[in-house]
Amino acid sequence: MAETGNKARIGLIGLGVMGANLALNIAEKGFRVAVHNRTPGRIRSLMEGAGELAGHLAPCETLADFVDTLQKPRAIILMIKAGRAVDEQIRALLPHLDKGDILIDGGNADFHDTRRRARELAGKGIDFIGMGVSGGAEGARHGPSIMAGGPVRAWEEVHDVIKAMAARFNGEPCAALVGPDGAGHFVKTVHNGIEYADMQMIAEIYGILRDGEGRSADSIGKLFAEWNDGPLQSYLIEITARVLQTRDPETGQFIVDVIEDRAGQKGTGRWTVIEALKLGQAASAISAAVDARVWSAMKEARKNGESLFPPQKEFAPAILEADMEKALLAARIIGYAQGFSLMRAASDHHEWDMDLAVVARIWRAGCIIRSGLLDEIAVAVREGMPHDQLIFSPALRARLNETRGSLRRVVSSAVLQELQVPAMSAALACFETLRQGRGTANLVQAQRDFFGQHGFERIDGGTDRHGPWV
């Protein structure tokens, strides 16, 4: 869609941190953006801080003015809190819109809501794009990773603006239409699930170094900084190194040492696990990370538990730094792999025909889970995931063969030292199970048949057979 007259090419409603930064980003790329916010104070502060970009922004205090300022077909990005507020905003906008206009939800929406909204709006002739945006405030301002879901014709109308504002990896924009209706928000949800697992695994290594080895925050930070020059290179390792070396201006202590160990969550990690369960997929590393946040909130119970069950330290071999680095890499690969298997299952189930190689490519820059590994993953996905398992791809198989012994040593020694490694343990259990051709579910089948005559398959081919239980 070309620019016409002095009308704005695109509109953006919701000038919180993400929305305001996205508006400035789009303006910087030379597009005229109409901006609106329910409370006008935010429009004014955006304009005041916009500097020379103000010329590309069209501030609109009323919805009628906002809609009127947009060229047709209108394309409007909503950057408002996921949930009811989105439905309310859509309801308020509808009387002002025409058939063929495009609404784009850039929040962290539940993809089920996105599918419903897409259906409802399609009935009114409005195209709806569910757009996952990752990268935090900095990403929104200078280039996020963008995962869109919606009709191809709507994407074709807006993709030049969206790609212009996205991060770039080797010159390639990290923005794509990954499928129809809820596909974009689903991919963003899984991105966040992987983000939860990765953050938790990093925190587990921090715990081993802090509680097992008594190391100070800054010395752990320096180690993470070194690791960031190797195969673990990633945004999350980089910021962890910086966070750990930052001091609290009030007390002079390292700031992590004055932060309560209770983690918040807004829902995307939990949604990933719920969808995995519904689709019969194992997202155990992500699930362990969600559980860890739940336990983190149980501060009083944990304090009580500490006094009820004092340590029973057993001998445990020391954990080498080199093993920690490799263990984190192995666990990270397995966390990603679970996310990719889940996206494959969801794509098949919802008939999204999603190209996971494209997903891997747009995650290489701009998003929170960007990492050196994603380049390898993009290649691995393109070459094919045998049995829908990323860990079976040749590139990652080699990585896991180099690192799996370290994951086993770190998890076992941490467990003996009574240090908590739930996400790394879950990743290890997933990996070991996937490399055991004959497991132990034969006994579970026998038990099911014993108490409920549920039947079992025999290894010699018989189906729905029963045991001669005594």
Determine if 264 is a binding residue for ligand 6PG (CB under 6 A). yes
Determine if 368 is a binding residue for ligand 6PG (CB under 6 A). yes
Determine if 268 is a binding residue for ligand 6PG (CB under 6 A). yes
Determine if 83 is a binding residue for ligand 6PG (CB under 6 A). no
Query: Is the omega angle on the peptide bond into residue 73 within 30 degrees of 0, that is, cis?
Result: yes
Q: How far is the CB of 306 from ligand 6PG (least distance, A)?
A: 26
Residue window 189-208: x/- pattern of binding to ligand 6PG, with contact defined by CB under 6 A: ---x--x-------------
Instruction: List alpha helices for 320-454, DSSP H.
Output: 321-350, 356-362, 372-383, 394-416, 422-434, 441-452
Q: How far is the CB of 345 from ligand 6PG (least distance, A)?
A: 22
Catalytic hit among 29, 52, 99, 188: 188
Residue window 269-308: x/- pattern of binding to ligand 6PG, with contact defined by CB under 6 A: x---------------------------------------
Cβ atoms of residues 109 and 78 within 8 Å:
no
Taking the least distance from each CB to ligand 6PG, the nearer of 59 and 193 is 193
How far apart CA 251 and CA 301 sit, in angstroms, is 28
Stretch binding ligand 6PG (CB under 6 A), from 258-266, 398-406, 416-424, 443-451: 258-266
124 belongs to the catalytic site: no
User: What is the DSSP track for 123-172?
Assistant: TTT-EEEEEEEESHHHHHHH--EEEEES-HHHHHHHHHHHHHHS-EETTE
Determine if 335 is a binding residue for ligand 6PG (CB under 6 A). no
How far apart CA 282 and CA 193 sit, in angstroms, is 12
Applying CB under 6 A, the site for ligand 6PG has a residue count of 13
Q: Which among 69, 92, 94, 91 is positioned nearest to 11, based on CA atoms?
A: 69
Taking the least distance from each CB to ligand 6PG, the nearer of 268 and 406 is 268
How far apart CA 356 and CA 335 sit, in angstroms, is 16
For residue 365, give the 3-state DSSP assignment.
coil
Q: How far is the CB of 108 from ligand 6PG (least distance, A)?
A: 5
Q: How far is the CB of 138 from ligand 6PG (least distance, A)?
A: 9
Q: How far is the CB of 79 from ligand 6PG (least distance, A)?
A: 12
Q: How far is the CB of 366 from ligand 6PG (least distance, A)?
A: 9
Q: Which among 228, 242, 212 is positioned nearest to 320, based on CA atoms?
A: 212
Q: How far is the CB of 144 from ligand 6PG (least distance, A)?
A: 7
Taking the least distance from each CB to ligand 6PG, the nearer of 74 and 188 is 188
Q: Which among 235, 237, 212 is positioned nearest to 224, based on CA atoms?
A: 237
Residue window 127-146: x/- pattern of binding to ligand 6PG, with contact defined by CB under 6 A: -------xxx----------
Determine if 262 is a binding residue for ligand 6PG (CB under 6 A). no
Q: How far is the CB of 376 from ligand 6PG (least distance, A)?
A: 21
Strands 175-179 and 172-173: unpaired
Catalytic hit among 99, 156, 195, 260: 195
Determine if 266 is a binding residue for ligand 6PG (CB under 6 A). yes
**Which amino acid is located at 43 in the chain?**
I
**Six token digits for residue 141:** 């301002």
Residue window 95-114: x/- pattern of binding to ligand 6PG, with contact defined by CB under 6 A: -------------x------
Q: State the residue for tokens 């399609």.
A: 122
- For residue 149, list its beta bridge partners: 130, 179
How far apart CA 9 and CA 70 sit, in angstroms, is 6
Taking the least distance from each CB to ligand 6PG, the nearer of 12 and 330 is 12
CB atoms within 10 A of CB 249: 7
Q: Determine the residue with CB nearest ligand 6PG.
A: 134
- CB proximity list for 352: less than 8 A, separation 6 or greater: 149, 178, 179, 180, 183, 186, 346
* Interacting residues toward ligand 6PG by CB under 6 A: 108, 134-136, 192, 195, 264-266, 268-269, 367-368
Active site residues: 188, 195
